[in-house]
Amino acid sequence: MKKKRKKKLLYTADFFAGIGGFRMGFDKAGYKTAYANDIDSGCCKTYKANFGEIEEKDIESIDIDSLPHFNVLLAGFPCQPFSIAGKRKGVEDHRGKLVYAISKILNKKYPDAFVLENVKPLLTLNKGKIFKEIYSELEKCGKGYNITFKILNSINFGLPQKRERLYIVGVKKRFGQFNIPEKTNIQPPPIKALLEKNVPEKYYLTERYYLGLLQHKQRHAKNGNGFGCKILDLDGPANTLVAGNMGRERNLIKDKPNQKNKWGIRKLTERECARIQGFSDDFVIPVSTTQACAQFGNAVSVPVVEKIARNLKKHIS
């Protein structure tokens, strides 16, 4: 009888690791994490509470030669320079240039593959010139990569959230071209299935605050803008979670009437944000509500990267 061939164990290095969304997705797909890094102390606190060690330092100060062996580089590099919610300075913003810190690592370590995530506007910023520059830089790293990119929506991967994000995957030339999966067959549940029961009073808006939000929305409506607060249809999905307070105000819940407001309008809890992003209920949240909601708004959607991870594993094994 022929001996069964042992499956190759694949290791990842997780840069701009945040709270570990990439790690959770790749762990579920059978990878092992060799290294993780982030500069944000709050994110590192959450990461350590769930996964253990992470190196808390600026990516540009990492000693690349001392990094352990890894097969796949993961990075949700800073999106603020490219986001609609930000000033959109692109690579003129120091954070936008951090993508080149990734290329330095790819040049020196030349792993089998890399998976990057960022916001959709990166594709069109400055008439697409910035993305073309980044693409060209990544393509020539090491001995060269075949690169694929695609906009993926979390709602197509079993999550009740309309969240479009850009995913860029590069594989060594010898592996050919990788096809990024567009969706799974998992139907997302309605948002009401993810809500907590008996939510504490602190999550409810005061009537004064809510009326202020409505006035703010009306001012924008007069100018033809769709900005402002939004109460979710509980039978449908959530809007995109983002790091700022706007992300919670665009995802308001109409719950039980409360002493703070007669309509029962409240914000999402941090656990609800976690569920909407695909984090399991045993995920530890050691930081404040404000910090946690920002962290989940910045994270990658776990089922999306898990699907990419599984397909990539088959492709490079």
Active site residues: 79
289 closest CA partner among 208, 229, 225, 199: 199
Q: Are strands 32-38 and 113-119 parallel, antiparallel or unpaired?
A: unpaired
Query: Left (φ > 0), alpha (ψ -120 to 50) or beta: where does 224 sit?
Result: left
User: What are the phi and psi torsion angles at 237 (to 5°)?
Assistant: -95, 170
CA distance 120 to 122: 5
- 160 and 189 Cβ atoms separated by less than 8 Å: yes
Residue owning tokens 């409506």: 221
| CA–centroid distance for 269 within its chain | 18
- Other CB atoms within 10 Å distance of the CB of residue 57: 13
Task: Collect all residues with Cβ–Cβ distance below 8 Å to 69 and sequence separation of at least 6.
Answer: 11, 34
Task: Please give the single-letter amino acid code of residue 131.
Answer: F
The most distant pair of C-alpha atoms in the chain lies apart, rounded to whole Å, by 76
Q: CA 157, 160, 164: angle at the middle one, nearest 5?
A: 60
CA distance 123 to 141: 20
- Other CB atoms within 10 Å distance of the CB of residue 219: 12
Task: Collect all residues with Cβ–Cβ distance below 8 Å to 312 and sequence separation of at least 6.
Answer: 72, 113, 115, 169, 171, 178
